[in-house]
Amino acid sequence: MTKEKISVSIEDHTASINVLNMTVNKKDKVYFDEVIIPLHLKNFSPPAPEIYVSDSMKAKKLYFITAEPGYIGDWHPAPFPLLIIVLAGTLEIELPGGEKRVISKGEMLFEKDDHKLIHKTSVISKENVYAVVVEFSEDEN
């Protein structure tokens, strides 16, 4: 069963976005869970009408990346705390122990505990993967 990625409640003027999260527990076991990012109705860009907005997250850098079909990034840690937003193509992320998740166009993945998040990344689509990577500071968010 797949959870909804975006939910909206008109009655209390809130919404949320669910983001796949790769994290590590106290025993250094890497696993997937979800982060729910709350959105609140806000006058974000006056005089435009209100829209749903999250709290800000301090980003350090932003990258655009691409990888060809068949690319395999063998076992490696996340290079830094990041959020990847897939614009086109499909990635498969595999964790030690064999758990896998597929991330496709329009989906996102947080990798915040960078040095312990050992994983394997593969392009499984027939087209290139294009993505935006947002780098976070190690001491932020």
Look at residue 112 in the predicted model and tell me its pLDDT. 83
Stated length of the chain: 141
- Domains present along the chain, CATH in parentheses: 6-136 (2.60.120.10)
Q: DSSP string of 22-50?
A: EEE-TT--EEEEEEEEEEEEE--STTSPP
pLDDT exceeds 60 at position 3:
no
Q: What is the dihedral of CA 31, 74, 121, 82, to 10 degrees?
A: 70
pLDDT exceeds 90 at position 114:
no
> Which range, of 35-44, 66-75, 106-115, averages the lowest pLDDT?
106-115
Cβ count near 109 (within 10 Å): 22
- Please check whether residue 118 is in contact with residue 73, taking contact to mean a CB–CB distance below 8 angstroms: no
Look at residue 8 in the predicted model and tell me its pLDDT. 62
